[in-house]
Homo-oligomer: A and B are copies of this chain.
Amino acid sequence: MSEPKHTLHYFPQSGNSYKVGLALNCAGIPWNAEKVDYFGGETRTDQWRSSVNEMGEVPVLEVDGRKLTQSGSILLHLAQETGKFGGATTAEAEEILRWILFDNHKFTSYLATYRWMKTFMQPAPHEEVLKFFKARVDGALAIAGKHLETNSFVVGNQVTIADFSMAGYLFYPAEEFGFNVRETHPAIGRWLNRLQSLPGWKAPYELFV
């Protein structure tokens, strides 16, 4: 039986795509990259919504022709498929899921939207909207920072997909956020350094071109 074939539909600025690309790379899985014309509106077309992803989002990972979406869901699939980064025990697997949900609900969701508004949104959002999101970002970073002061990784003693999920956006350049998380939250900085030393790790704009 041949290895499953993986094709990642991505665009370089998408941190959710980067999470998946990073997991594939660090797991040592060969994969194809298919760039989506996000800024040209490709994901908002009826064709994309009806034939690729009704949720209208990138990334999409095709595995042997099957289309998986939602980065958290894709990461859980990859952990199962490869036996890597899924935690050492059932309790760890449950913790991984809990942190991935927290990430989607409160961490990446605010962080990614805030970065998007600071750097890519046209027209720029109202200052009060930025302020609102920044407060939520600060709250989420405080929770993660506190956790990482006493834990080397998000769950257990080794890298898991929960790390890829939560760290993904933070590897983008500080300028895109308007603040440097390594300075504001040193424990998060040390955790990012640990992840950067993984074989297969690449920065977002090196992994995606």
Which residues of A does B touch, CB under 8 Å? 54-56, 68-70, 72-73, 76-77, 94, 97-98, 100-102, 104-106, 108-109, 125-126, 128-129, 132, 143, 146-147
Do B101 and A70 have beta carbons less than 8 Å apart?
Answer: yes
Number of copies: 2
Q: What residues of chain B lie closer than 8 Å to A54, measured between beta carbons? A: 143, 146-147
Known contacts A70-B98, A126-B132; is A56 also within 8 Å of B143 by CB? yes
Query: How far does the Cβ of A107 sit from chain B's closest Cβ, in whole Å?
Result: 10
Kindly name the residue among A73, A105, A143 whose own CB sees the greatest number of chain B CB atoms within 10 A.
A105
Known pairs A55-B102, A68-B98; list 12 more (Cβ under 8 Å): A54-B147, A68-B94, A69-B98, A70-B105, A72-B97, A76-B97, A101-B101, A101-B104, A104-B104, A105-B105, A125-B132, A126-B126
A69 to B126: give the CA distance in the assembly, Å: 34
Interchain Cβ contacts under 8 Å between A and B, 26 examples: A54-B143, A54-B147, A55-B102, A55-B106, A68-B98, A70-B97, A70-B98, A70-B102, A72-B101, A72-B105, A73-B94, A73-B97, A73-B101, A100-B101, A101-B101, A101-B104, A104-B105, A104-B109, A105-B105, A105-B108, A105-B109, A109-B109, A125-B128, A125-B132, A126-B126, A126-B129
